[in-house]
Amino acid sequence: MIGNPVDYDKKFKDDFPIYPAKLDFELKKYLELIPGKEVLDLGIGQGRNSIPLSNLGFNVTGVDYSSKCLEICKNNCSNLNLIRSDIRTFEIEKNRYDLILSSYVLHFLHKEDSYKIMNSIKETINLNGLIYLQVFSIEDPKFKKNKSLLDFELLDNNVFHNIINDTYISFFTREEILDIFKDFETIYISDEYSLELIRPNPHYSGVIKYIGRK
């Protein structure tokens, strides 16, 4: 495990971002392919996808490091099974989950750690299970911006080290994601650049979205 986890509770002490609960259209489109009801959300945040999934009858386990995010989840949906943990130390139960999602989370790690988690997802998920990922691409404006910031050092393989708080931020390519999941069936992949209307800080982002089936 390399460096510290990104601490949302400290980072956004005064202006916590708001992510309204709404199922991403890519996931909504392929719900019928999920072979059962057990869902794991690594970095559940405020339950953006997981609250709608729970309301649709899925049994959702959500893991997050932020107490504040978990509290928001609990207040908005009492059926979620919530666990406070660093996802790098969370052990995924084998042959339990039919859908494992990790949306806008795995780029907040050194790639060595994100690769380990992706491999663990691949090993543990049920046969025919779906994985849904969203990670920053090298088109994300932060990729260029971080190069000019003194707080960041650029390491190999598009990984930045924040030398002030010893955290990492990684940027991925479409080919890299397809290679990691080469033994999965690609159901959906996109490499997008768009304006995110996140309050209080709307911003552009470059994101790779991937849905694969074991």
Ligand X SMILES: C[S@@+](CC[C@H](N)C(=O)[O-])C[C@H]1O[C@@H](n2cnc3c(N)ncnc32)[C@H](O)[C@@H]1O
- Interface residues toward ligand X, by CB under 6 A: 5-6, 8, 19, 43-45, 48, 64-66, 69, 86-88, 103-105, 108
Nearer CB in complex with ligand X: 107/179: 107
Nearer CB in complex with ligand X: 124/205: 205
Nearer CB in complex with ligand X: 86/139: 86
How many Cα atoms occupy the beta-carbon half-sphere of 59 within 13 Å? Answer: 7
The distance of closest approach from Cβ of residue 2 to ligand X in the complex, given in angstroms and rounded to an integer, is 11
The distance of closest approach from Cβ of residue 187 to ligand X in the complex, given in angstroms and rounded to an integer, is 18
Nearer CB in complex with ligand X: 74/175: 74
Instruction: Answer yes or no: are the C-beta atoms of 140 and 171 closer than 8 Å.
Output: yes
User: In the chain, which ranges are continuous DSSP H helix?
Assistant: 8-11, 25-29, 50-55, 67-76, 111-124, 141-147, 174-180
Cα(155)–Cα(144) distance, integer angstroms: 14
Write the CB contacts of 18 (distance below 8 Å, at least 6 apart in sequence): 46, 198, 199, 200
**Percentages (nearest 5) of helix, strand, coil residues in the chain:** 30, 30, 40
Nearer CB in complex with ligand X: 38/64: 64
Cα(180)–Cα(107) distance, integer angstroms: 15
Nearer CB in complex with ligand X: 8/58: 8
The distance of closest approach from Cβ of residue 94 to ligand X in the complex, given in angstroms and rounded to an integer, is 20
The distance of closest approach from Cβ of residue 23 to ligand X in the complex, given in angstroms and rounded to an integer, is 11
Tokens for 37? 């009801």
| Ramachandran class of 151: left when φ > 0, alpha when ψ lies in -120 to 50, beta otherwise | alpha
The distance of closest approach from Cβ of residue 170 to ligand X in the complex, given in angstroms and rounded to an integer, is 12
Tokens for 127? 């046969």
The distance of closest approach from Cβ of residue 49 to ligand X in the complex, given in angstroms and rounded to an integer, is 6
